[in-house]
A and B are shown apart, each in its own frame.
Chain A
């Protein structure tokens, strides 16, 4: 069958649906059928699934002209989705095509939710089209004889690639693809990504830099212009609007008319605890919504979530409070309005959420921005500009993630074993490991076999063994079993299942929260008030309670930093504070009372000014710097500056930062004049000072947590299996200390530092920011009390520490608080 005949099949199908294929869809079909690889840039709800499922099926038809009567069994394509919740939707669209075109192709799902029985059946008889997650793909690679399964696979399609790109799951994908490239000769590699700043790099990471695959690939952009309108909810009384906070409940009543006006409204919150609180408060104040108001977040049990999603689709809900759990996939046509509560910390995410509303073609998307504190109105104003300019963030891919590589190598050793020479060539071709050295590779192999570099006589280290012909394998069943349980790179705190005492699953909470509860404590979870009874195994038993409570489980939400472009927009918006009212956005206009207050003792900086404020409260001496460069840069700058100050005088600082500025809090006054005289904000020796500062704070230590789990150094236990492995559990903190003391040349230990350095601190931007500050006039104001600008920073609880004092000197000034 030639290509035109194939297109006819597709276009006829579209006609039958009364649709017309978009250009990007046809372009993708052509490229795919030409045997090309590629990256498709298309937003959710644009028909991207049909852009790629179609050529997969058409390709099968091409190779099997008697496809209507005969069925050629075996895996044809793999569809990777980052969220297993999306897999059903993808399956339905695939089945629509396979059935309507009269093929006998089968579609299957394989995720963490798939039953053992089904998995077993799949192993014997793979579906033609398989929908799975990055982790489940790794699991397939850990089963014996996987090469045979993938032999005739014609395509791997990675959906929502932008979500994976800057994460270790993305690295896991790179590795999986590097193996499949060798195993399946006919493989086409495709990614689908929403708009990100570094799309080209995204393609390079997916396909491998400087590979023939990349040369034989295309980047297709959907170019579907959608009108997005951003409306800020402006507080009516600015004088009483809070200077800090993250809940936004003050504006609860302003949300009600918006909800009432539209069919279905999604309220996006940034954390699950915020989601719980909003849900509770709205129902408390407006009981009339009961029954048509729901909540959706990652810890709510699956049945409830599916029910909510279904209810949105059939329009039986007025509003849903949700978190990023509803960011991706799933089209909700009835959603008319979206409200973002608090800064979304990212233009891409904001656009994605906005796109959740007004799905019908030609309709505009409306998103309301609800500020939770005054400074966020500046952010709202900047966000409008960002939406206009599509100033979307980059997703920075990882380099040399040795933890993920060790996990992957163990995976291969667990299944059919591997020969190092063969695998080395493959991983050298990936983006992540393009720079790996021969020496590092040898180190990793040694680590797998001997647990470190030198073998001592009394050691019983057991993991991977080398066979006579040089094949690396795992023969120990216990190790293989534990490894399979551990596969996956999303690291969370240990999760505890919350259940009613009489049975009935409610959801799961991080162990950290549960560990702080005493019997009889009441907390809010999944929209209910629950009384804590006890922890048994990996389960927390609870019962319903009528008591009121303010205990809400907190989840450590990811804190994204503003991009360079967004920070620039933020500064531009701030600078308009000095302009005439007519030249200001309504958000900036509304902030007039706050600016007035800010100017009482300090200033609102102009483009040529760099503001430093100092004041004392009962917490200590506050020293606040305002570069307006985004969280990541501030984190680095504060760490570096604190380190440089600590060289001048013995001092202990606690550091806090947000997207506007950073604080050094100390029990002693820092002489700012001395800081300026010594030119401590210089770019000279920036790199080495930054590196040294990492040794004296905890950032790397925190990074090590994920590394220890991913590389298999820390065993997290069997989730939900109730099997306790207490004798093998240790904290990664403990491990970090042991490495620090005894094996600081360990690549995994060092990775903690390089990762902090390269991934978190954005060294390049720090340099530019320091250069910009060098050209500014420094305005240092000593104040008698906190200014409005300083408030969100000084009240931040998440802090970094840095000290150059002797511990003994420090603790002489400290006390232990007595229990009441």
Chain B
């Protein structure tokens, strides 16, 4: 279900649902949930199945019950668009939580921070802990290792017999780890693997490190 990594002597666990747990800080990082997206579509006449709404909340509960973190940090794009009825569900959900909740706001987060603060959710632009920098957009800052979201990363795997498969993933470079999108009704963007990066694919019930290889065949 999880895959462990160490970054700057700190211990992290990547979970198959796409969340990242920081053991020393007891902090759970969740990125790009895009709550309200389903309702937003429905409000505009596209009948996306309603059950997908509930799924986001149950998936968050599952992840939290697995790690029992002290703090939950949403890495941006928590809400897809403006206020709609899913906010009420979010209010109820927050009330049930015993953890600290922080939102590092992203480009989709246009709901007033005051609304969040009324629920006890802290809204910030970025979070710095020791030499770790948590942002929504990927950033490169000297002396910091960056955790971020925004990209919705996926990776394309190929194998013998012209096999291919595309999976959402954690994408790690020496200075950065991009989290996959957590939300049920969110797409992905396929990244290319680079030298000195590490990729961990989400398989639904497992996280697996991906073998990277030089292209063997030329001209294909």
The answer to whether A621 touches B193, judged by C-beta atoms less than 8 angstroms apart, is: no
The answer to whether B45 touches A816, judged by C-beta atoms less than 8 angstroms apart, is: no
Chain B residues with Cβ below 8 Å from A115 are: none
Which residues of chain A (437-483) have a CB below 8 Å from chain B?
447, 451-452, 456, 458-463, 476, 478-479, 482-483
Which listed segment binds A: B34-42, B64-72, B114-122, B131-139? B34-42
Decide yes or no whether B130 CB sits under 8 A from chain A: no
Chain B residues with Cβ below 8 Å from A584 are: none
Chain A residues with Cβ below 8 Å from B81 are: 727
Decide yes or no whether B52 CB sits under 8 A from chain A: yes
Closest CB of chain A to B137's CB: distance in Å? 17
Instruction: Kindly identify which residue among B47, B162, B210, B211 contacts A654, using a CB–CB cutoff of 8 Å.
Output: B162
Chain B residues with Cβ below 8 Å from A713 are: 46-48
Contacts A451-B50, A746-B49, A817-B193 hold; do A667 and B161 have CB atoms under 8 A apart?
Answer: yes
The answer to whether B88 touches A818, judged by C-beta atoms less than 8 angstroms apart, is: no
The answer to whether A819 touches B193, judged by C-beta atoms less than 8 angstroms apart, is: yes
Which residues of chain A (777-792) have a CB below 8 Å from chain B?
none
Chain B residues with Cβ below 8 Å from A479 are: 44-45
Complex Cα distance, B89 from A459, in Å, reads: 11
Q: Digitize B191-216: 1 where CB-to-A-CB distance is under 8 Å, 0 elsewhere.
A: 01111000101011010101111110
Which residues of chain B (15-68) have a CB below 8 Å from chain A?
39-52, 55
Instruction: Kindly identify which residue among A478, A654, A734 contacts B44, using a CB–CB cutoff of 8 Å.
Output: A478
Complex Cα distance, B194 from A478, in Å, reads: 45
Complex Cα distance, B51 from A451, in Å, reads: 12
Decide yes or no whether B126 CB sits under 8 A from chain A: no
The answer to whether A818 touches B187, judged by C-beta atoms less than 8 angstroms apart, is: no
Decide yes or no whether B186 CB sits under 8 A from chain A: yes
The answer to whether B44 touches A819, judged by C-beta atoms less than 8 angstroms apart, is: no
Decide yes or no whether B10 CB sits under 8 A from chain A: no
The answer to whether B43 touches A461, judged by C-beta atoms less than 8 angstroms apart, is: yes
Decide yes or no whether A530 CB sits under 8 A from chain B: no
Q: Digitize A802-813: 1 where CB-to-B-CB distance is under 8 Å, 0 elsewhere.
A: 000001101111
The answer to whether B41 touches A728, judged by C-beta atoms less than 8 angstroms apart, is: yes
Complex Cα distance, B45 from A476, in Å, reads: 10
Chain B residues with Cβ below 8 Å from A735 are: 48
Instruction: Kindly identify which residue among A482, A738, A815 contacts B45, using a CB–CB cutoff of 8 Å.
Output: A482
Chain B residues with Cβ below 8 Å from A482 are: 44-45
Interface size grouping (class) on chain B: 35 or more
Instruction: Kindly identify which residue among A459, A666, A746, A815 contacts B157, using a CB–CB cutoff of 8 Å.
Output: A815
Which residues of chain B (164-220) have a CB below 8 Å from chain A?
165, 167, 184-187, 192-195, 199, 201, 203-204, 206, 208, 210-215, 217
The answer to whether A743 touches B193, judged by C-beta atoms less than 8 angstroms apart, is: no
Chain B residues with Cβ below 8 Å from A462 are: 42-45
Instruction: Kindly identify which residue among A815, A818, A819 contacts B159, using a CB–CB cutoff of 8 Å.
Output: A815
The answer to whether B47 touches A816, judged by C-beta atoms less than 8 angstroms apart, is: no
Chain A residues with Cβ below 8 Å from B150 are: none
Decide yes or no whether B85 CB sits under 8 A from chain A: yes
Closest to B44 in A: A728
Decide yes or no whether B155 CB sits under 8 A from chain A: yes
The answer to whether B192 touches A819, judged by C-beta atoms less than 8 angstroms apart, is: yes
Which residues of chain B (145-159) have a CB below 8 Å from chain A?
155-159
The answer to whether B201 touches A727, judged by C-beta atoms less than 8 angstroms apart, is: no
Q: Digitize A699-727: 1 where CB-to-B-CB distance is under 8 Å, 0 elsewhere.
A: 00000000000001111000000000001
Contacts A460-B42, A731-B187, A818-B194 hold; do A813 and B49 have CB atoms under 8 A apart?
Answer: no
The answer to whether B162 touches A714, judged by C-beta atoms less than 8 angstroms apart, is: no
Contacts A461-B42, A727-B80, A730-B41 hold; do A452 and B50 have CB atoms under 8 A apart?
Answer: yes
Instruction: Kindly identify which residue among B47, B80, B208, B215 contacts A817, using a CB–CB cutoff of 8 Å.
Output: B215
The answer to whether B203 touches A808, judged by C-beta atoms less than 8 angstroms apart, is: yes
Decide yes or no whether A548 CB sits under 8 A from chain B: no
Decide yes or no whether A799 CB sits under 8 A from chain B: yes
Chain A residues with Cβ below 8 Å from B80 are: 727
Chain A residues with Cβ below 8 Å from B211 are: 814-816
Chain A residues with Cβ below 8 Å from B204 are: 807
Which residues of chain A (220-264) have a CB below 8 Å from chain B?
none
The answer to whether B48 touches A738, judged by C-beta atoms less than 8 angstroms apart, is: yes
Instruction: Kindly identify which residue among A476, A618, A733, A742 contacts B51, using a CB–CB cutoff of 8 Å.
Output: A742
- Most B CB contacts (10 A, CB to CB) among A461, A665, A812 go to A461
Closest to B206 in A: A808
Chain A residues with Cβ below 8 Å from B6 are: none
Q: Digitize A541-573: 1 where CB-to-B-CB distance is under 8 Å, 0 elsewhere.
A: 000000000000000000000000000000000
Chain B residues with Cβ below 8 Å from A389 are: none
The answer to whether B158 touches A619, judged by C-beta atoms less than 8 angstroms apart, is: no
The answer to whether B159 touches A730, judged by C-beta atoms less than 8 angstroms apart, is: no
Decide yes or no whether A502 CB sits under 8 A from chain B: no
Closest to A743 in B: B49
Closest to A734 in B: B187
Chain A residues with Cβ below 8 Å from B52 are: 738, 741-742
Complex Cα distance, B40 from A138, in Å, reads: 28
Decide yes or no whether A652 CB sits under 8 A from chain B: yes
Decide yes or no whether B109 CB sits under 8 A from chain A: no
Closest to B184 in A: A738
Chain A residues with Cβ below 8 Å from B9 are: none
The answer to whether B45 touches A620, judged by C-beta atoms less than 8 angstroms apart, is: no
- Most B CB contacts (10 A, CB to CB) among A456, A666, A807, A810 go to A807
Chain A residues with Cβ below 8 Å from B194 are: 818-819
Chain A residues with Cβ below 8 Å from B158 are: 814-817
Complex Cα distance, B80 from A209, in Å, reads: 48
Complex Cα distance, B200 from A806, in Å, reads: 17
Chain B residues with Cβ below 8 Å from A652 are: 161, 163
Decide yes or no whether A739 CB sits under 8 A from chain B: yes
Closest CB of chain A to B173's CB: distance in Å? 12
Closest to A739 in B: B49
Chain A residues with Cβ below 8 Å from B40 are: 727-728
The answer to whether B47 touches A810, judged by C-beta atoms less than 8 angstroms apart, is: no
Decide yes or no whether A820 CB sits under 8 A from chain B: yes
The answer to whether B203 touches A811, judged by C-beta atoms less than 8 angstroms apart, is: yes
The answer to whether B47 touches A715, judged by C-beta atoms less than 8 angstroms apart, is: no
Closest CB of chain B to A646's CB: distance in Å? 14
Contacts A730-B185, A734-B186, A817-B193 hold; do A811 and B47 have CB atoms under 8 A apart?
Answer: no
The answer to whether A621 touches B161, judged by C-beta atoms less than 8 angstroms apart, is: yes
Closest CB of chain B to A572's CB: distance in Å? 33
Decide yes or no whether B84 CB sits under 8 A from chain A: yes
Complex Cα distance, B214 from A458, in Å, reads: 51
The answer to whether A814 touches B215, judged by C-beta atoms less than 8 angstroms apart, is: no
Closest to A817 in B: B215
The answer to whether B163 touches A654, judged by C-beta atoms less than 8 angstroms apart, is: yes
Closest CB of chain B to A621's CB: distance in Å? 7
Closest to B210 in A: A816
Closest CB of chain B to A410's CB: distance in Å? 9
- Most A CB contacts (10 A, CB to CB) among B50, B51, B192, B214 go to B50
Contacts A816-B199, A816-B210 hold; do A620 and B161 have CB atoms under 8 A apart?
Answer: yes
Closest CB of chain B to A219's CB: distance in Å? 42
The answer to whether B48 touches A620, judged by C-beta atoms less than 8 angstroms apart, is: no
Instruction: Kindly identify which residue among B49, B86, B157 contacts A452, using a CB–CB cutoff of 8 Å.
Output: B49
Chain A residues with Cβ below 8 Å from B210 are: 811, 815-816
Contacts A817-B215, A818-B212, A819-B194 hold; do A619 and B46 have CB atoms under 8 A apart?
Answer: no
Closest CB of chain A to B165's CB: distance in Å? 6
The answer to whether B88 touches A461, judged by C-beta atoms less than 8 angstroms apart, is: no
7 A-B pairs in the complex with CB atoms less than 8 angstroms apart: A462-B43, A476-B45, A482-B45, A712-B45, A715-B46, A808-B206, A811-B159
Which B residues are within 8 Å of any A CB, using their own CB?
39-52, 55, 80-81, 84-86, 88-89, 155-163, 165, 167, 184-187, 192-195, 199, 201, 203-204, 206, 208, 210-215, 217
Which A residues are within 8 Å of any B CB, using their own CB?
447, 451-452, 456, 458-463, 476, 478-479, 482-483, 618-621, 652-654, 665-668, 712-715, 727-728, 730-731, 733-735, 738-739, 741-743, 746, 799, 801, 807-808, 810-820
New A-B contacts (4) at CB < 8 Å, excluding given A811-B159, A811-B167, A818-B212: A451-B50, A459-B85, A462-B44, A652-B163
Closest 8 CB pairs of A and B: A620-B161, A667-B161, A451-B47, A814-B159, A742-B51, A667-B160, A743-B49, A458-B85
